[in-house]
Amino acid sequence: MSKIQYPMLWFSQEVGQDASAPWKFFKVDGVLMNAYDFMQHPSAFRKVKEQKIHDYLGFQGPVMMDSGGFMFMKKNIMDVSAEEIISFYEETNPNYGVVLDHPLFPTNTDSENQKRKLKTLQNTKIMIKKRTTKNPILIPVVHGYTDPEIKWYVNRLKKMGKFSIYGIGSLVPALYNVKGVGGILNVMKVIMEIRKQIPRAKLHVFGTGGTLTMHLMYYAGANSLDSSAWRTKAAFGAIQMPGIGDRWITNSVRKKPYPQLSKEEKEKLEKCRCPMCRNYGLSRLKKDFTARAVHNAWVHQQEVKKARKLMKENRYDDYVSKIMKKTNFASLFSTIEKTKKSNKITHS
């Protein structure tokens, strides 16, 4: 695996979705898979242990394996142990492996959330102890919504060892629990607080959505993100426009309120250099899920490359500020700008 350049993006993929794998069409930063997903598919589970994850995917770049703690919680049963997860990681050989975590929900009681935090910390300890090799690099996951909660949690982790990268979990329900942009403001505050407390290690934020939210997370101090939005939006018939957000291009029933393409946007799209637009044009995007998924992944990857370049040149914050002012994140963004300045967050 070549050295990772930050900020970076992991393309979250599901078992059995090989046809739309973007790395078969162009170079992507990394791929994120879920242990839970493999455990639900016995033949894939056997195959990935036999071939190891890189050959299984046909991708030799960085691979992260998440436990899928979030999916286990959705089912409301955690029928897997930390021991099973670490041995699955060691058998399949991803570059990074995420600690089996018990995500919090803003609507849970405090004592339920506290129980889950203790469980995740316990799993972290077990996974450190039970591993027999140095691969994969373990990513502990920080959970907490308030500053004191985060401080307590981070201190507990620091006592277990030194980690080169930390994950930030439990943010997805916070994102969608509050109507409008309030949710995302809370998310940004959590990221900025963790950045303040862990100034040097890399931070990975789980499950972040489209390209605009992606820029918000990097801006707040995340180094690493994962997204399945390129795929889920393609399934809804939506495409990602660089620096703009989502647009609706199919005639199917609208499930989500994305705006349609304007004339100027159509012209912009005609200039898209992704493997699908370049070879087949907009008509293909309209009728083909794979074409939309590959286009969306391409736009995500281009935005990340742009973020990397602008950070190097010290121009990233200005860029994010410029694009946010044209979106409905505008008022929230000025709050974030102030917090970032007072926390003295820089992109390292």
Binding site for Zn ion (CB under 5 A): 272, 274, 277, 295
Secondary element (H or E) of residue 8: strand 8-12
Of the two residues 22 and 144, which places its CB atom closer to Zn ion in the complex?
Answer: 22
Q: Smallest distance from the beta carbon of 203 to Zn ion, in angstroms?
A: 30
Angle 316-234-182 from CA coordinates, rounded to 5°: 55
What is each CA distance from 256 to 176, 252, 324, in whole angstroms? 14, 11, 21
Secondary element (H or E) of residue 12: strand 8-12
What is the residue-wise DSSP string for 93-124?
--SEEE-------TTS-HHHHHHHHHHHHHHH
Q: Smallest distance from the beta carbon of 272 to Zn ion, in angstroms?
A: 3
Of the two residues 170 and 240, which places its CB atom closer to Zn ion in the complex?
Answer: 240
Bridge-based pairing of strands 96-98 and 63-66 is parallel
Q: Smallest distance from the beta carbon of 261 to Zn ion, in angstroms?
A: 13
Q: Smallest distance from the beta carbon of 266 to Zn ion, in angstroms?
A: 12
Of the two residues 96 and 236, which places its CB atom closer to Zn ion in the complex?
Answer: 236
Asked if residues 97 and 65 have their Cβ atoms less than 8 Å apart, the reply is yes
How close are the terminal C-alpha atoms of the chain, in Å?
21
Of the two residues 82 and 299, which places its CB atom closer to Zn ion in the complex?
Answer: 299
d(Cα 112, Cα 105) in Å, to the nearest integer?
9
Of the two residues 171 and 293, which places its CB atom closer to Zn ion in the complex?
Answer: 293
Q: Smallest distance from the beta carbon of 295 to Zn ion, in angstroms?
A: 4
Of the two residues 100 and 274, which places its CB atom closer to Zn ion in the complex?
Answer: 274
Q: Smallest distance from the beta carbon of 282 to Zn ion, in angstroms?
A: 9
What is the residue-wise DSSP string for 274-331?
SHHHHHH-HHHHHH-HHHHHHHHHHHHHHHHHHHHHHHHTT-HHHHHHHHHTTSTTHH
Please name the residue that has the structure tokens 């012209």.
267
Q: Smallest distance from the beta carbon of 270 to Zn ion, in angstroms?
A: 9
Of the two residues 277 and 323, which places its CB atom closer to Zn ion in the complex?
Answer: 277
